[in-house]
């Protein structure tokens, strides 16, 4: 274990192990920082969701807290106008590409997007940006779970779980840019892939893109 | 001089003496140099080369045809240089097979250099002007392009005969730390775009603990309109290789890579040939020049993704992963390729290295500005008279680049802007023309040096459309990993599209500005961070054009198809002519009862063919905006 150091987040003094990622130190001390793509066990964070911005004294601009390791005496603010602006825009961008209809979503009330909206007082239906129309067919070809890409936020947690927890390699990212999506090799149905239906990917999905079929019963 | 230094010097002298023996002496043989870089080839250089060979053979002359790279005068391709004993070396432009045959007959066989077809002489003489007698030559100061187009890139001896690999010898005679110190002192800044101090980067890497280090030359040139890296690799590959070997020696690496896109087959061929030759004479491989330094270079072919020019994406691509960026820090100089400390330098950056070691730090710092010494290479394209690859000292103003080096705006049109730095760069207006160009001044103005693409725009270019064009490129090239770039650029592009078709709203401008700033501050990698630059600069300098599109539903530059219509002015049109009728691909032009022509707007696809077809003595077809203006004109002319 590294030596313990002390940092200040939002005025609160916190003891933490030197070298750990700021995001996890904050979350473990009940300080909420929005995040979707962060995985504690992953050595090098993907830093792709761009939600965990904070301001650190000495840095000219907000930085992502998942990529920042804590150092003694660090002074962090999780809410400043600059941070809020970036988080709001990132959140609105993600929502502009996310199929809503929470009441019909198996993740309703357990959804990371809903949590962020509540904590940061953000709207789930922002008016500033147009909504992109996504119409991916829902893949319910396997017995245990359903993959609905229209609700996917491309955080990559499922892909990581599939590769590092389940060690199966049934899914990965395909395409690029706006077409980027989670898919099986050759973009086949899950039932035609090497998926073993272990459900590890479903457990880590922060939104309603991957859900167990048993949670669907009271929906639709 | 130390023993080590003496020893390598001696070894180099042997190589140089041998090289000079092999090269045909210019004094007793006529040499025809044909520029066969990709640009020359596209313009017909292969036919020219064959015509010369054929004609020389037919006439049984003592002359040799060699292939060289590009001298950067794109507007006059195909270009050749003829060196005949007793005459100054002469360069001819726009050469075709006919001219080739004529030159062989009149100049090679006879003694008439056909001055009327010559472009310029390469050495001072009493007969014909040289480059320095033209404004462009007076403003240019070539360092890394100096030998391009004048030596055979496929012959290492020619490079050695112009002091090639001498800098490597100098470097090997020094301690690696001294080499880094020299580069640091020279204040050389990375030419990939951001301008990070090269010596500092090397120092980070050299100080990293890991014993295995890599050096990579980034030749993944992806900016539309930029072609200097290709040209250097095709015209003088040894210069880059020498720079990379020195870099490897300085940081303590024994493996180097050149990451070049596979769309540059000619460059790849020439690099591979150059590497082979360097290995043969012991400049690459085990125990280079008996100094105990081992270093070799491998070529890695990229698949042509723009984002792979970003260093962390480049590393992923080389490791066999998807070409997507990672978060920095850690920077590649500490954790790079295969997790080891890695230097990634642009082709141009590495090209300066041999020159600095050979001519000294003071010489280099004497060129350019104090904070950005050296030269800047620009691919000067667009609405400028003399397009080409130009190399000017840093601190040269945009005005002298456009008007002196480029010869001004084509067709006597009015200058509107320069788009500098490619899709990550920005559009600078006339008020910025007197800006001395260097890394910092451009950043302040909202653009970046970037790859050095410089597109000149005139009064007929719509700035909203230009912003849309470049954003369309970055949006398509976004890898999709991070939220801001993936979704933000798409939203910006959608808004710009709406504005260019006349559906823009006032609130759009506000959203565009907000999104642009957030994408700039929030994106993961350099592609996303710089993608909004074309939008931000056009909003800053050309707001009036945006407003015209939104308020007046008109495109002031008459460029956006949805906001214009074509109209044939009856007073100018002639009954005797029907050039426009035939040019129209959709038969939208008809003959009126009085014999004059008119356009059926329902059918018109606004392809721009008819104004081009209308003979200049009539010049009867005009574009109008907003499109409804046609109805008013019809009433006026009824």
Q: Does any domain span residue B145? A: no
Q: What is the CATH number of the domain that holds B528?
A: 1.20.1440.230
CA of B344, closest CA in chain A: separation in Å? 21
**pLDDT surpassing 80 at residue A40:** yes
Q: Are B335 and B468 in a shared domain?
A: no
Q: What is the CATH number of the domain that holds B104?
A: 3.40.30.10
In chain B, % helix, strand, coil (3-state, to 5) comes to 45, 15, 35
ipTM of this predicted structure? 0.96
Number of Cβ atoms within 10 Å of the Cβ of A100: 14
Buried/exposed B417-442: b ≥16 CB within 10 Å, e otherwise: bbbbbbbbbbbbbeebbebbbbbebb
Mean per-residue pLDDT, B245-273? 96
CA of B527, closest CA in chain A: separation in Å? 12
- B379, β-bridge pairs: B389, B453
Residue B533 CA neighbour count, 13 Å, CB half: 28
Q: Does any domain span residue A208? A: yes
The pairing of beta strand A12-17 with beta strand A4-9: antiparallel
SS3 at position B72: coil
Supply B578's token pair: 């029907």
Name the residue with tokens 């409804």: B628
Q: Are B247 and B356 in a shared domain?
A: yes
Q: Are B208 and B259 in a shared domain?
A: yes
Say whether B524 and A50 touch across the interface (CB within 8 A).
yes
Say whether B478 and A178 touch across the interface (CB within 8 A).
yes
Q: Do the beta carbons of residue B614 and residue B620 sit within 8 Å?
A: yes
Q: How many domains does chain B have?
A: 5
How high is the pLDDT of residue A144? 95
Rg (C-alpha) for chain B, rounded Å, is: 27
Q: Are A86 and A127 in a shared domain?
A: no
Q: Does any domain span residue A111? A: yes
Q: Does any domain span residue B154? A: no
CA of B281, closest CA in chain A: separation in Å? 44
Buried/exposed B172-206: b ≥16 CB within 10 Å, e otherwise: bbbebeebbbbbbebbbbbbbbbbeebbbbbbbbb
Q: What is the CATH number of the domain that holds A200?
A: 3.30.70.20
Q: Are B192 and B245 in a shared domain?
A: yes
- Residue among B350, B349, B373, B351 nearest B361 (CA): B373
Number of Cβ atoms within 10 Å of the Cβ of B572: 14
* Cβ neighbours of A48 in B, within 8 Å: 481-483, 524
Name the residue with tokens 């730390």: B177
Say whether B522 and A86 touch across the interface (CB within 8 A).
yes
C-alpha pair distances (Å), B106 with each of B56, B109, B115: 12, 6, 11
How high is the pLDDT of residue B144? 96
Mean per-residue pLDDT, B461-470? 96
Q: Do the beta carbons of residue A171 and residue A182 sit within 8 Å?
A: yes
Q: What is the CATH number of the domain that holds B614?
A: 3.30.70.20
Q: Does any domain span residue B380? A: yes
The domain boundary, picked from A59, A77, A92, lies at A92
Q: Does any domain span residue A1? A: no
**pLDDT surpassing 90 at residue B185:** yes
DSSP 8-state symbol, B65 = E
Q: Are A67 and A102 in a shared domain?
A: no
Buried/exposed B345-358: b ≥16 CB within 10 Å, e otherwise: bbbbbbbbbbbbbb
Q: What is the CATH number of the domain that holds B181?
A: 3.40.50.11540
- B118, β-bridge pairs: B92
C-alpha pair distances (Å), B53 with each of A80, B31, B84, B297, B409: 72, 11, 16, 35, 38
How high is the pLDDT of residue B27? 61
- Using pLDDT thresholds of 50, 70 and 90, give the confidence band for residue A218: low
Q: Do the beta carbons of residue B472 and residue B493 sit within 8 Å?
A: yes
Residue B306 to residue B479: CA distance in whole angstroms: 9
How high is the pLDDT of residue B591? 95
Q: Are A165 and A73 in a shared domain?
A: no
Say whether A176 and B480 touch across the interface (CB within 8 A).
yes
* Cβ neighbours of B487 in A, within 8 Å: 93-94, 96-97, 132, 178
Q: Are B472 and B456 in a shared domain?
A: no
The domain boundary, picked from B417, B432, B461, lies at B461
**pLDDT surpassing 60 at residue B261:** yes
C-alpha pair distances (Å), A38 with each of A7, A59, A98, A141: 21, 22, 19, 28
Say whether A49 and B515 touch across the interface (CB within 8 A).
no
Number of Cβ atoms within 10 Å of the Cβ of B445: 20
Supply A47's token pair: 């830093």
SS3 at position A11: coil
Q: Does any domain span residue A51? A: yes
Test the B interface: residue of A65, A176, A181 with most B CBs within 10 Å: A176
Q: List the domain range (segments joined by +) for residue B581.
A: 564-637
Residue B550 to residue B467: CA distance in whole angstroms: 15
Q: What are residue A36's phi and psi, to 5 degrees?
A: -130, -40
Q: Are B178 and B311 in a shared domain?
A: yes
Q: Are B423 and B445 in a shared domain?
A: yes
- B257, β-bridge pairs: B216, B298
Count CB pairs under 8 A between chains A and B.
Answer: 86
Q: Are B482 and B589 in a shared domain?
A: no
From B476, B491, B514, residue closest to A177, measured CB to CB: B476
The domain boundary, picked from A92, A121, A136, lies at A92
Q: Do the beta carbons of residue B114 and residue B107 sit within 8 Å?
A: yes
Q: Does any domain span residue A63? A: yes
How high is the pLDDT of residue B1? 53
pLDDT in tens, B595-625: 999 999 999 999 999 999 999 999 999 999 9
Name the residue with tokens 């457990």: A203
**pLDDT surpassing 90 at residue B113:** yes
Q: Does any domain span residue B558? A: no
- Using pLDDT thresholds of 50, 70 and 90, give the confidence band for residue B29: confident
Q: Are A182 and A154 in a shared domain?
A: yes
How high is the pLDDT of residue B430? 95
- B599, β-bridge pairs: B589
Q: Are A195 and A108 in a shared domain?
A: yes
**pLDDT surpassing 70 at residue B25:** no
Q: Are A104 and A185 in a shared domain?
A: yes
Say whether A179 and B480 touch across the interface (CB within 8 A).
yes
How high is the pLDDT of residue B118? 94
Q: Does any domain span residue B514? A: yes
Q: Are A206 and A137 in a shared domain?
A: yes
How high is the pLDDT of residue B422? 87
* Cβ neighbours of B303 in A, within 8 Å: none
Q: What is the CATH number of the domain that holds B405?
A: 3.10.20.600
Q: Does any domain span residue A35? A: yes
Residue B403 to residue B487: CA distance in whole angstroms: 40
For chain A, the first-to-last Cα distance in angstroms comes to 49
Buried/exposed A119-128: b ≥16 CB within 10 Å, e otherwise: eeebebebeb
Q: Do the beta carbons of residue B452 and residue B189 sit within 8 Å?
A: no
Mean per-residue pLDDT, B32-57? 95
From B327, B475, B484, residue closest to A67, measured CB to CB: B327
Q: Does any domain span residue A70? A: yes
Q: Are B196 and B267 in a shared domain?
A: yes
Percent of chain B at pLDDT above 70?
99
Q: Are A117 and A79 in a shared domain?
A: no
* Cβ neighbours of A46 in B, within 8 Å: 327, 481
From A44, A50, A129, residue closest to B484, measured CB to CB: A50
From A67, A85, A129, residue closest to B491, measured CB to CB: A129
Burial class (CB in 10 A: 0-12, 13-18, 19+), B279: middle
Test the A interface: residue of B306, B474, B476, B483 with most A CBs within 10 Å: B483
The domain boundary, picked from B109, B131, B153, lies at B131
Q: Does any domain span residue B197? A: yes
Q: Are A150 and A123 in a shared domain?
A: yes
pLDDT in tens, A132-175: 988 999 999 999 999 999 999 999 999 999 999 999 999 999 99
Q: What is the CATH number of the domain that holds A33?
A: 3.10.20.740
For chain B, the first-to-last Cα distance in angstroms comes to 91
Burial class (CB in 10 A: 0-12, 13-18, 19+), B296: middle
Element (H, E) at B33: strand B30-35
Residues 6 or more apart whose CB falls under 8 angstroms from that of B537 comprise B426, B427, B428, B445, B446, B447
Mean per-residue pLDDT, B162-184? 95
Q: How many domains does chain A have?
A: 2
Q: Do the beta carbons of residue B602 and residue B586 sit within 8 Å?
A: no
SS (H, E, C) B418-466: EEECHHHCEEEEHHHCCCECCHHHHHHHCCCCCCCEEEEEECCCCHHHH
Q: Are A30 and A120 in a shared domain?
A: no
Q: Are B118 and B7 in a shared domain?
A: yes
pLDDT in tens, A61-81: 999 999 999 999 999 999 999
Say whether A93 and B511 touch across the interface (CB within 8 A).
no
Measured CB to CB, residues of chain B less than 8 Å from chain A are 322, 326-327, 329, 475-484, 486-488, 490-491, 494, 511, 514-515, 518, 521-524
**pLDDT surpassing 80 at residue B62:** yes
Average pLDDT across chain B, whole number: 94
- B588, β-bridge pairs: none
From B480, B483, B494, residue closest to A177, measured CB to CB: B480
The domain boundary, picked from A92, A122, A150, lies at A92
Q: Are A111 and A130 in a shared domain?
A: yes
- Residue among B312, B309, B352 nearest B333 (CA): B312
Residue B488 to residue B532: CA distance in whole angstroms: 9
Residue B64 to residue B612: CA distance in whole angstroms: 44
Say whether B486 and A173 touch across the interface (CB within 8 A).
no
Nearest CA in chain A to B492: A129
Q: List the domain range (segments joined by +) for residue A68.
A: 7-92
How high is the pLDDT of residue B26? 55
CA of B131, closest CA in chain A: separation in Å? 46
**pLDDT surpassing 80 at residue A9:** yes
Find the range with the poorest average confidence among A75-84, B3-12, B90-99, B293-302: B3-12
Q: Are B315 and B187 in a shared domain?
A: yes
* Cβ neighbours of A94 in B, within 8 Å: 483, 487
* Cβ neighbours of B322 in A, within 8 Å: 173, 176
Say whether A61 and B514 touch across the interface (CB within 8 A).
no
Q: Does any domain span residue B146? A: no
Q: Are B272 and B227 in a shared domain?
A: yes
Q: Are A78 and A112 in a shared domain?
A: no
The domain boundary, picked from B343, B363, B383, lies at B363
Q: Does any domain span residue A160? A: yes
Q: Do the beta carbons of residue A197 and residue A162 sit within 8 Å?
A: no
Q: Does any domain span residue B543? A: yes
Number of Cβ atoms within 10 Å of the Cβ of A187: 10
């Amino acid at each position: 274990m590294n030596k313990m150091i002390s940092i200040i987040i939002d005025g609160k003094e916190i003891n933490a192990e030197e070298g750990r990622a700021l995001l996890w130190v904050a979350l473990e001390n009940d300080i909420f920082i929005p995040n979707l793509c962060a995985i504690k066990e992953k050595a090098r964070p993907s830093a792709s969701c761009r939600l965990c911005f904070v301001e650190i004294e000495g840095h000219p601009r907000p930085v992502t807290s998942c990529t920042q390791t804590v150092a003694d005496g660090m002074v962090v603010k999780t809410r400043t106008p600059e941070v809020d602006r970036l988080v709001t825009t990132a959140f609105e961008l993600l929502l502009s590409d996310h199929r809503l209809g929470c009441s019909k979503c198996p993740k309703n009330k357990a959804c990371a997007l809903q949590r962020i909206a509540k904590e940061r007082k953000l709207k789930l239906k922002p008016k500033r940006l147009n909504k992109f129309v996504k119409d991916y067919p829902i893949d319910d070809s396997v017995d245990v779970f359903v993959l609905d890409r229209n609700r996917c936020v491309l955080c990559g947690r499922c892909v990581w779980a599939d590769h590092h927890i389940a060690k199966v390699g049934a899914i990965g990212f395909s395409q690029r840019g706006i077409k980027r999506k989670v898919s099986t090799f050759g973009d086949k149905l899950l039932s035609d892939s090497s998926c073993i239906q272990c459900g590890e990917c479903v457990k880590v999905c922060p939104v309603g893109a991957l859900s167990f079929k048993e949670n669907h019963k009271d929906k639709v | 001089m130390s023993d080590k230094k003496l020893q390598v010097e001696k070894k180099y002298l042997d190589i140089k003496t041998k090289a000079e023996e092999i090269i045909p002496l210019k004094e007793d043989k006529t040499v025809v140099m044909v520029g066969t870089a990709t640009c020359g080839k596209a313009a017909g250089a292969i036919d020219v080369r064959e015509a010369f060979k054929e004609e020389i053979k037919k006439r049984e002359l003592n002359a040799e045809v060699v292939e060289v790279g590009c001298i950067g005068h794109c507007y006059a391709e195909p270009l050749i240089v003829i060196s005949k004993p007793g005459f100054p070396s002469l360069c001819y432009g726009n050469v075709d097979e006919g001219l080739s045959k004529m030159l062989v007959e009149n100049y090679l066989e006879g003694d008439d250099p056909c001055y009327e077809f010559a472009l310029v002489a390469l050495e001072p003489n009493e007969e014909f002007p040289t480059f320095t007698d033209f404004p462009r030559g007076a403003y240019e100061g070539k360092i890394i392009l100096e030998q391009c187009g004048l030596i055979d890139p496929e012959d290492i001896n020619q490079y050695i005969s112009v002091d090639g690999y001498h800098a490597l010898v100098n470097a090997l005679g020094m301690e690696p730390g001294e080499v880094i110190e020299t580069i640091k002192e020279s204040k050389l800044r990375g030419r990939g775009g951001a301008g990070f101090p090269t010596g500092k980067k090397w120092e980070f890497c050299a100080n990293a603990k890991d014993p295995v280090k890599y050096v990579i030359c980034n030749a993944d040139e992806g900016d539309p309109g930029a072609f200097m890296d290709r040209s250097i690799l095709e015209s003088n590959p040894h210069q880059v290789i020498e720079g990379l070997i020195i870099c490897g020696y300085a940081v303590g690496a024994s493996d180097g890579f050149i990451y070049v896109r596979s769309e540059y087959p000619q460059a790849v061929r020439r690099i591979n040939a150059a590497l082979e030759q360097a290995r043969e004479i012991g400049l690459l491989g085990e125990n280079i020049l008996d100094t105990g330094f081992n270093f070799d270079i491998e070529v890695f072919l990229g698949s042509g993704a723009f984002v792979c020019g970003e260093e962390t994406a480049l590393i992923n691509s080389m490791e066999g992963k998807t070409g997507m960026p990672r978060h920095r820090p850690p920077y590649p100089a500490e954790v790079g390729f295969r997790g080891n400390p890695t230097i990634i330098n642009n082709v141009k950056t590495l090209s300066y290295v041999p020159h600095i070691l050979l001519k000294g730090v003071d010489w280099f710092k004497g060129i350019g500005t104090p904070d950005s010494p050296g030269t800047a290479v620009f691919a000067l394209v667009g609405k400028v008279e003399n397009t080409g690859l130009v190399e000017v000292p840093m601190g040269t103003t945009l005005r002298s680049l456009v008007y002196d080096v480029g010869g001004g705006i084509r067709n006597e049109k009015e200058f509107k802007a320069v788009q500098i730095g490619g899709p990550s760069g920005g559009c600078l207006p006339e008020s910025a023309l007197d800006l001395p160009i260097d890394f910092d001044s451009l950043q302040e103005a909202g653009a970046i040096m970037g790859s050095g693409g410089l597109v000149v725009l005139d009064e007929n270019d719509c700035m909203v459309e230009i912003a849309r064009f470049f954003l369309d490129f970055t949006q398509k090239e976004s890898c999709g990993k991070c939220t801001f770039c993936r979704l933000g650029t798409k939203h910006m592009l959608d808004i710009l599209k709406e504005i260019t078709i006349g559906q823009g709203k006032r609130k759009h401008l506000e959203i565009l500005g907000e999104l642009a700033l957030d994408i700039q501050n929030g994106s993961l990698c350099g592609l996303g961070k710089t993608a909004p630059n074309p939008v931000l600069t056009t909003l800053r300098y050309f707001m009036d054009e945006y407003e015209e599109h939104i308020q007046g539903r008109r495109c002031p530059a008459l460029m956006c198809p949805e906001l214009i219509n074509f109209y044939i002015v009856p007073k100018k049109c002639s009954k005797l002519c029907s050039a426009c009728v035939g040019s129209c691909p959709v038969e939208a032009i008809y003959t009126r009862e009085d014999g004059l022509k008119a356009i059926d707007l329902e059918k018109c696809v606004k392809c721009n063919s008819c104004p081009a077809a209308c003979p200049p003595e009539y010049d009867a077809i005009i574009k109008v905006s907003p499109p409804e203006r046609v109805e008013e004109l019809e009433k006026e002319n009824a």
